[in-house]
């Protein structure tokens, strides 16, 4: 009986040792690589953005590692696909933090995804830097995550000011119930009203609405001088319906990319929109040389997010040390321009006015 007890104890001790070994094998060792995770939408509707972000991050990682990393320690990137789904984002976050034991996280890119993991970020005190936007009221800690994307409310207000300054006083707004698009559409409408303008109609539809004829008809029936389109999901359908109904007034928007430009080439003319300003020429050249394409949306912001994290790593590569540095972070000069974090935690970056005409985007001027 005594021998059986001894053997039982020995077996239990061995099992515990094995379990501890398995749990600790992925932890970044003091002299080993520094594990960083990137949660990106690499498949699904937003895959183009995720792939742009991945390229930007990888370019930054390669440059950092080629310079020696942190005292010879290299950065080991782990890419997890979120497919733009908050539930998958939660699973990916749990995987990289509890199994891979990463030191920090880059991403995700979508407001709904980031909002889903914010409580876990705060619980774990996990340093996160994301090329994304989340309203201040939805954030537990304004210092973590650091957001490398223009505050949507401020961006919408800048566009409202521009439209008002053109002498336009009556605008109809078309947006969707997506969090970011709702913030943009309502932010524009509220700011335009405060300036003294009139919002003749506000149509906030479901992001996946199949037919935009009714809301667009209602918007145009309100006799606006211009229409502000604050939706990416319904941009193609909205502009096509506006064109088909013969509307001749001005069109304005926000953050139109090359994909939307190409999709609407047959019917959109002279639409003006606000968006992130162009990336620095050196980054554009390096990116194109490496990947044989021009950097799209999220590429430069993701590159900057990675380099902000690396600047922290060079001073203190521990999770606790990074979080402490994030508390004092206020500005950064990157390839996306001069990033500033306001006292209330809102991020500002350079924006510009662009024009969309016949499938092509051209820059008109700064828009501050």
Give the CATH number of the domain where residue 331 resides: 3.40.50.2300
User: What is the per-residue pLDDT across 176-207, written as a single tens digit (0 to 9) for each?
Assistant: 999 999 999 999 999 999 999 999 999 999 99
Q: pLDDT tier at 112 (50, 70, 90 boundaries)?
A: very high
Same domain (yes/no): 294, 312: yes
Angle at 343 between CA 342 and CA 344, to 5 degrees: 90
Q: Is residue 209 part of a domain?
A: yes
Question: Token pair of 212, please?
Answer: 């935009």
- Note whether 195 and 272 are same-domain residues: yes
Question: Per-residue pLDDT for 14 more than 60?
Answer: no
Task: Note whether residue 235 is domain-resident.
Answer: yes
For residues 309 and 104, give the distance between their C-alpha atoms in angstroms, rounded to a whole number.
Answer: 8
Q: Is residue 10 part of a domain?
A: no
Residues 272 and 176 in one domain: yes
- Say if 287 falls within a structural domain: yes
Residue 22 has pLDDT above 60, yes or no: no
Same domain flag for 251 and 306: no
Paired residues of 352 in beta bridges: 275, 366
242 shares a domain with 362: yes
**Does any domain span residue 61?**
yes
Same domain, 254 and 356: yes
Residues 267, 298 share a domain: no
**248 and 309 share one domain:** no
**Which pLDDT does position 30 carry in this prediction?**
62
> Which helix H or strand E contains 79, and what residues bound it?
strand 75-81
Burial class (CB in 10 A: 0-12, 13-18, 19+), 6: exposed
Residue 7 lies in a domain: no
Same domain, 362 and 253: yes
> Based on the number of CB atoms within 10 Å of its own CB, is 112 exposed (0-12), middle (13-18) or buried (19 or more)?
middle
pLDDT tens for 213-265 read: 999 999 999 999 999 999 999 999 999 999 999 999 999 999 999 899 999 99
For the range 214-220, what are the long-range contacts, defined as Cβ-Cβ under 8 Å and sequence gap of 24 or more? 215/174, 216/174, 216/241, 216/242, 216/245, 217/241, 217/245, 219/172, 219/173, 219/174, 220/172, 220/245, 220/247
Helix, strand, coil tally for the chain in percent (to 5): 45, 20, 35
Asked, for residue 135, whether it belongs to a domain, the answer is no
Is the confidence at residue 17, as pLDDT, over 50? Answer: no
For 286, the domain range is 34-126+279-335
> What's the pLDDT tens digit per position in 332-361?
999 999 999 999 999 999 999 999 998 999
Q: For residue 133, tell me if it sits in a domain.
A: no
301 shares a domain with 270: no
Residue 317 has pLDDT above 70, yes or no: yes
Q: How many domains does the chain have?
A: 2
Task: Judge if 186 and 102 occupy the same domain.
Answer: no
User: Between 71 and 3, whose confidence is greater?
Assistant: 71
39-48 per-position pLDDT tens digit = 999 999 889 9
Residue 73 is predicted with a pLDDT of 96
């Amino acid at each position: 009986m005594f021998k059986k007890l001894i053997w039982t104890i020995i077996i239990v001790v061995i099992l515990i040792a094995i379990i501890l070994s398995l749990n600790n094998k992925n932890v970044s060792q003091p002299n080993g690589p520094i594990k960083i995770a990137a949660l990106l939408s690499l498949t699904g509707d937003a895959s183009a953005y995720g792939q742009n972000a991945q390229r930007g991050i990888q370019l930054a990682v390669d440059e950092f590692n080629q310079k020696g990393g942190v005292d010879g320690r290299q950065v080991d990137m782990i890419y997890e696909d979120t497919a733009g789904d908050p539930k998958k984002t939660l699973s990916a976050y749990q995987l990289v933090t509890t199994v891979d034991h990463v030191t920090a996280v880059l991403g995700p890119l979508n407001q709904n995804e980031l909002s889903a993991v914010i409580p876990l970020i705060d619980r774990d005190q996990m340093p996160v830097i994301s090329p994304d936007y989340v309203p201040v009221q939805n954030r537990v800690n304004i210092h973590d995550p650091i957001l490398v994307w223009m505050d949507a409310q401020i961006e919408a207000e800048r566009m409202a000011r521009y439209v008002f300054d053109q002498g336009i006083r009556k605008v109809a707004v078309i947006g969707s119930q997506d969090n970011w698009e709702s913030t943009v559409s309502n932010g524009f409408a509220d700011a335009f009203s405060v300036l003294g303008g009139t919002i003749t109609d506000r149509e906030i539809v479901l992001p996946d609405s199949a037919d935009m004829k009714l809301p667009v008809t209602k918007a145009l029936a309100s006799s606006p001088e211009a229409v502000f389109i604050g939706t990416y999901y319904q941009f193609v359908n909205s502009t096509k319906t506006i064109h088909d109904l013969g509307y001749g007034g001005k069109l304005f928007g926000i953050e139109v990319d090359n994909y939307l430009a190409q999709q609407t080439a047959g019917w959109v003319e002279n639409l003006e929109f606000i968006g992130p300003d162009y990336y620095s020429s050196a980054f554009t050249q390096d990116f194109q040389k490496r990947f044989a394409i021009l950097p799209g949306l999220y590429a430069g912001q993701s590159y900057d997010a990675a380099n902000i994290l690396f600047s922290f790593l060079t001073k203190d590569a521990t999770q606790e040390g990074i979080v402490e540095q994030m508390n004092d972070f206020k500005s950064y000069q990157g390839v996306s321009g001069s990033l500033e974090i306001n006292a209330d935690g809102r991020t500002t970056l350079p924006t510009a006015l662009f024009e969309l005409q016949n499938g092509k985007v051209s820059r008109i001027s700064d828009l501050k």
